[in-house]
Each structure stands twice: as structure tokens, then as C-alpha cells.
Chains A and B, each alone.
Chain A
């Protein structure tokens, strides 16, 4: 399925995706778009794990299970983050991180 595509291609692709996510995390000021940028970062790491597993250690399954667990962690992270975001919106009527600067309950 991947003959003619060396492993470096996958790694370069994951690098570009990772740093697109980093750029978004640094420039965005909206909590939901920052969450999206972190999803991009996690997803690029998953691509790396899968490519390493398939190309370098095809007789093992560590990479696949690691990315499976990363997906589970990302799902729970998104659920908790969105709950927090909705709570912040109720309290401050905005989800801009510059305007949310107190933790007092």
C-alpha cells in the first residue's frame, strides 16, 4: 500500500501539520480555535506513531495502540474543555482568553 512512499514523507507531513497547530495556538485568542489547534497537534503526532509502526517495526503494534490511547485522551480532553468553555461563556459572555482573567468563583 505504501511502496514508493518513504517514511520521511510521512514525517515531513506530520511536521508541517504540527507547526501549523503551533502557529494557531500562538496566534488565536478564541478558546475554541485554540482547542482546534491542539487537536491538530495531537493528530500530527498520531500520524508519526502510525508511520513508525508500519515502516520500522511492522511485526509489533505499539505505535498503533499508542495512537489509539492518544485519540481517547484527546476525546476526553475535548469533552472537558468544551464543558469549561461553556461555563466560561455563561459567566463572562465571551470566550476570548484576553477577557477571561479571573478565576474567582
Chain B
């Protein structure tokens, strides 16, 4: 077993074990921590695939940003020591059956298909190339999705502020806080 395979097995075992723990653990803060570990090992896979920029984005945005946001909202909305009630047996069995059936179907299809790689030389994806492609209007440019995604991010930020803002005193109906 080469070192590449060893690293891949390490990362994939971490991903599989911790993603299953994320969806089955009964303590909510532990679920968030397991999700963080899943995202960090995913960024390890991106490093293996030689996409350093995407690995950095994964680490800073997913593992740094989204997980911290989730943990903050957990602290705002739940008691840390609170445990979930166990899932109903029937629901759990049927969900597991659906997931396992889907997994088997997908894996059989993947193993059956013959992937044919192109013979063209691999492109070195460095920061300069990514920046040029994001802002290029040529055939291989991505300026339109870049603009769309920036508008979406702006709209989402404003929407988040507006939605989470406390209702003002001018509202006639008093909300019931407790």
C-alpha cells in the first residue's frame, strides 16, 4: 500500500465514521464537532487532489465559518447537556433501509461504469489562473456565475439580518418571548 492510498484510507475512514456519527449522535454539540471533523478531512482530500485553493476555501469557509455559525446558533437555542429522544424504531429502520438501498444502487452503478480519462495534459491550477478565469469574459471565463453568486451572497446577508432582527416596539402584536 503506497502512502497515497494510506492517506486516502485515513481520510475516507474519518469521513465515513464521523458523518455517520454526525447524524446518529444524541448530543447536538457533539454532532457539530463531528461535522467539523468531516469537513476538515474533506479538505485533506482536496489537498490530495492537488486543488490547494479549494482546500483552503473549504477550511476557512466551511470548517471556519459555517461550523462556527452552527455552534453559535446551537448555543442560542439549545441546552448543551440536552439529549435528543431516541428516534422511533420504525422510522429509523425505514430511513436506514432507504439509505442503504440508495447506497447499494449508486455503488453498483459506479463500479459498473467504465470511466475514460482524457489524454490531454493536466493544467496546473494556481491562484493567478483562478483569478483570471473568474473575471474573464472569454470562452473559458466565469464572470457571469461570479456576479450571480455575489448578488446571491449580498441578498442572503441582508435577508439574514432582516429576518433575525428583533421586531420593533411599533408592532401591535406582542411576540411571546420566554
Contacts and interface: CB of A to CB of B under 8 A. Distances in A.
Q: Is the interface of B mostly helix, strand, loop or mixed?
A: helix
Given A71-B62, A93-B178, A40 B159 contact: no
B142 A65 contact: yes
Contacts of A21: 19, 23
B147 to A, nearest CB: 11
Interface string A70-87: 011111111110111111
B91 interface: yes
Contact of B58 (A11, A32, A71, A90): A71
B123 A71 contact: no
Given A8-B111, A23-B96, 14 more contacts: A2-B4, A4-B5, A12-B111, A23-B99, A35-B70, A39-B66, A54-B50, A65-B134, A69-B149, A74-B62, A76-B155, A79-B69, A79-B157, A83-B163
Pairs of residues from A and B, 10 with the lowest C-beta to C-beta distance, nearest first: A24-B23, A76-B156, A58-B122, A26-B95, A83-B164, A83-B160, A83-B163, A20-B19, A19-B99, A59-B120
